[in-house]
Structure 1
Amino acid sequence: MLILLAIMFFRPGAAAAQQQDTTTQSRVLERLRQRAPLIARDTTPVDTLEQDSLAPPPPQQVELVSDTGGPVRRQPAGGQLAQDSIARALMRLSGFIATEYTAPFARYHADSATLRLVGESSVAREGQVLNADSLIVYYRDTGFACGFGRPTLTGEGLDAPLESDSLCYDVTRGVGRAYN
């Protein structure tokens, strides 16, 4: 009988606590529902945004004719990137040599001081342009930039483009080397 009285005594308190929790929960849910219209979703269409001023122009395909009369395909020469006012100001600074890199993907490894430009890439510096269709790796410690996958070196001081299976350019000496 004592147990029955204890159950009856504590039961209304448990029901009241449960009812209070339910009431608190319902109040919180109601507040959230009231605030939901205030939280607007981003509905700005993408095409209404201004075009990025630093975005490079789309690549242009140039058709050249080889000595045999057949077409030769090359990627853009590089060094032709669209420049904004900041880039132009940096290019005019004395005591610095500007280098332009283009690639779909780039990765810098700090531990080995190497920069990898993956995919159709180009590096332009002081009138020299190194192009490659697969990979360009710049080794800072040695000062070499090497292109792989039909690389070409063009620019000032060359009578004709230098082509090979792999090609390296010595940045400090300004000399290109072809390897087969």
Structure 2
Amino acid sequence: HGCLEVMAAGPSIAAAAIRAVSTGASTRIRELAGGRIEEITAEVVSDAADQGDALAQGLIRESGRYLGIGIANAVNLLSPEIVVIGGGVARAGDILFDEVRSTVQKRAFTTMVNLPPIVPSDKGEDASSIGAAALVFEEMLAVGRITDLMRAGGTRADMNGP
């Protein structure tokens, strides 16, 4: 196995599709990629899944299952208020999100935590940067921290404490 990125991200979906197409699997994926294996992407797989291609739907569901396992672990540990999925994989739509939600529901400690909503990001490719900036602002505005930062003066304030 590997990290979640390796198992569930867009490139892993594309790689699995390329392997399947290369072995002669019955699918529309190659056709949607213009007949060229090197043009197969997660987006092409998602398009094929939307058109009812069983192999493509299976690949998207498998990715959703892995993502759901990772999210269930995070929910069990952190009890977040919401889970936002971004990046290319989020464009896979309901097939992915239904599998993610189902897997999280099966694996999360529902007696201990309320399951958070799991939604696609509406921030596109900038989601990670926006989230990182939000964490910085949250730290800066934490009770007592703003006063510490103002006392530190200058343009460089240590965000990790005194």
Q: Considering the TM-score relative to the shorter chain, is it more than 0.5?
A: no
Larger radius of gyration: 1
Higher strand share: 1
- TM-score in terms of structure 2 length: 0.24
Bigger proportion of residues as helix: 2
TM-score by length of 1: 0.22
